[in-house]
Amino acid sequence: MAETSGAQDSGGTGGSPCPETIRRALAAHTTMTLAYADEDGPGACAVLYATDATDPESGGATGGAGGAGPVLYFVTATTTRHGRALAAPGARAAFTAQRDGQEWSGLTGLQGRGGCRPLTGAERAAGWRVYLARFPFVAESERLRDALERTTLWELRPDWLRLIDNGQGFGHKEEWRPGS
């Protein structure tokens, strides 16, 4: 599967589940830089995220089919520029997640893109449980919990993920796409 360039492409053929290496990398980080576009052009912002990536059978806490891939949950108001852009029907976003201060020879990070939407009702409650499990300090602070509970919880469902891991060789990549 690994090419001579050090790149690996898992491709996600036949609806294959997201590889464990990518799931672990998603679970290892908590901040993503979210990129979007609106009438003023491209923009980006950093948000904390939680993921169900540690459970490959979950298909997302909001009830997706198993093997559909991880789901990322983040909180932001619909009144922000990125919130307004992502609230549009069919909104899509791109993102990266990586630890700061890495040396290039050991650089590890993720790139992804997918559909984004605000959650309500039972879907929001399920996503909120994942978010609170990842960030228990939110539940411990009544003020913070109340503020975030009044804010929109979003789901980003990746349809393409790439893990970069220079620790396995410069330019080493592993990609996943559901059902392609």
For residue range 75-89, list pLDDT tens digits in order: 999 999 999 999 999
More confident position, 155 or 99: 155
Residue 39: how many CA atoms within 13 Å on its side-chain side?
Answer: 2
Domain assignments of the chain as residue spans, ordered by start: 13-176
More confident position, 128 or 56: 128
What would the 3-class secondary structure string for 35-58 be? Answer: EEEECCEEEEEEEEEEECCCCCCC
Weakest-pLDDT range from 64-68, 109-113, 144-148, 169-173: 64-68
What is the model's pLDDT at position 7? 39
What is the model's pLDDT at position 163? 92
What is the model's pLDDT at position 8? 41
What is the model's pLDDT at position 54? 67
Helices (H) and strands (E) in the chain, counts: 5, 7
Placement of tokens 């309500």 in the chain: 120
For residue range 5-49, list pLDDT tens digits in order: 333 443 434 468 899 999 999 999 999 999 999 999 999 999 999
Mean pLDDT throughout 49-67?
Answer: 59
For residue range 90-119, list pLDDT tens digits in order: 999 999 998 776 676 667 789 999 999 999
pLDDT exceeds 60 at position 1: no
Mean pLDDT throughout 125-141?
Answer: 94
Instruction: Give the CATH architecture of domain 13-176.
Output: Roll (2.30)
What is the model's pLDDT at position 104? 67
Cβ-count burial of 97 within 10 angstroms (0-12 exposed, 13-18 middle, 19+ buried)?
buried
Percent of the chain having pLDDT more than 70? 80
Q: State pTM to two decimals.
A: 0.82
Q: How confident is the model at residue 55 (pLDDT cuts 50, 70, 90)?
A: low
What is the model's pLDDT at position 145? 87
